[in-house]
A = this chain, B = another copy of it.
Amino acid sequence: MAQTTRALQKTKPGPGAELVEVELPEVGPRDALIKVDVAGICGSDVPTYHWMPTAVSKVAARGLKFPFSFGHEFAGTVQEVGRDVQTVKPGDRVAGETHGPCGNCFPCNTGHRHICANMKLIGSGYPGIFSDYTVLPEICTVKLPDSMTSQQGAVLEPLGVAVHSITEADVSGKPVVILGVGPIGLFAVAAAKHLGATQIFGTARSQEKLDMAMAMGADATFNPLKVDVVAAVKEATGGIGAGAVIDMTGDPEAILQGLRMLRSRGRLVMVAQLKGALPAEVSVPLCRAEVQLTGIWGRRMYDTWLLVEHLVTSNKVDVAKVIGNS
């Protein structure tokens, strides 16, 4: 088996990355050695490559030392497994779950290991996957069905973020608004449609994104630079408002609007971290209409994975539409 691999590494602070030959870690009893077949470039990989401020601070926060490899969205083929591995075997094609939970903390012990308190991530606790081969714990691998291509498989991780946001928002039978229809937002539009939202609205500042949202199944879209989105959503919902809002923007003003466009007892789910302080006015819808504000992290392990596999293999969500265009 492979003992070294090419890997794309940040070898020092600053823009760029180097392709170097590195040793692979030993395959432990619960690990798998995987050949990377398809890698995805996450929105967070770009700042790492260009060494933008958000990446610099994240790398510092995680205590990463140079050199380090990066990348975490992928599909690959299992080459070798450790003695205690049960769910995958050599020859299996797998997708990567970025998150490696500890198994013993409070969230792990109460059914929420996707928000493990001691989480290790591919790209920090484990090596990044911009490489020919990688070694990961079994729990970071999800076997792909035969009917799924590896390119589709490499997209399940970000699609899972979108699907998790939709399941957390409880959209069935309700109008839903997706604030910010970038790639994850477009996936959310499609997921909302197939998980039972009655109406789906998307917002973005670019007409191109709005057009793609319509192509993914939105009923209407709004450009917040041009229309009052709160008023538009209220009007489109018979004056009642949306039952759920998903925020992909992190923009405090968008979130204030999102809370205001919710009907009573509705829920806003944040996917992106906030870019600034939330105006005090958020407490009006939170208290007066008893709406809820929450967020999500990654994907549920493995409720969400079961669902993304269904949505892709049943052709309900066409990931190619988003991959090819955004």
Contact = CB atoms under 8 A, between A and B. Distances in A.
Contacts of A290: 112, 115, 168, 294-297
A198 B296 CA distance: 22
Nearest to A288: B297
A109 B283 contact: no
Given A109-B303, A195-B196, A274-B280, 19 more contacts: A86-B104, A106-B240, A106-B264, A110-B265, A110-B303, A111-B111, A111-B112, A117-B264, A167-B172, A167-B173, A171-B196, A173-B195, A196-B197, A199-B310, A240-B306, A252-B280, A271-B287, A273-B287, A288-B297
A229 interface: no
13 contacts: A29-B84, A107-B263, A109-B302, A115-B264, A115-B288, A167-B172, A167-B173, A240-B306, A286-B293, A286-B295, A290-B295, A290-B296, A293-B294
Interface in A288-309: 288-297, 300-303, 306-307
Contacts of A272: 283
A250 interface: yes
A60 interface: no
A213 interface: no
Interface string A166-178: 0110111100000
A276 interface: yes
A265 B29 contact: no
A43 to B, nearest CB: 15
Interface in A237-272: 240-241, 250, 252, 263-265, 270-272
Residues of A in contact with B, size category: 35 or more
Nearest to A289: B115
Nearest to A278: B278
Interface in A99-121: 103-104, 106-107, 109-112, 115, 117
A294 B292 contact: yes
A197 to B, nearest CB: 8
A196 B176 CA distance: 13
A277 interface: yes
Nearest to A138: B104
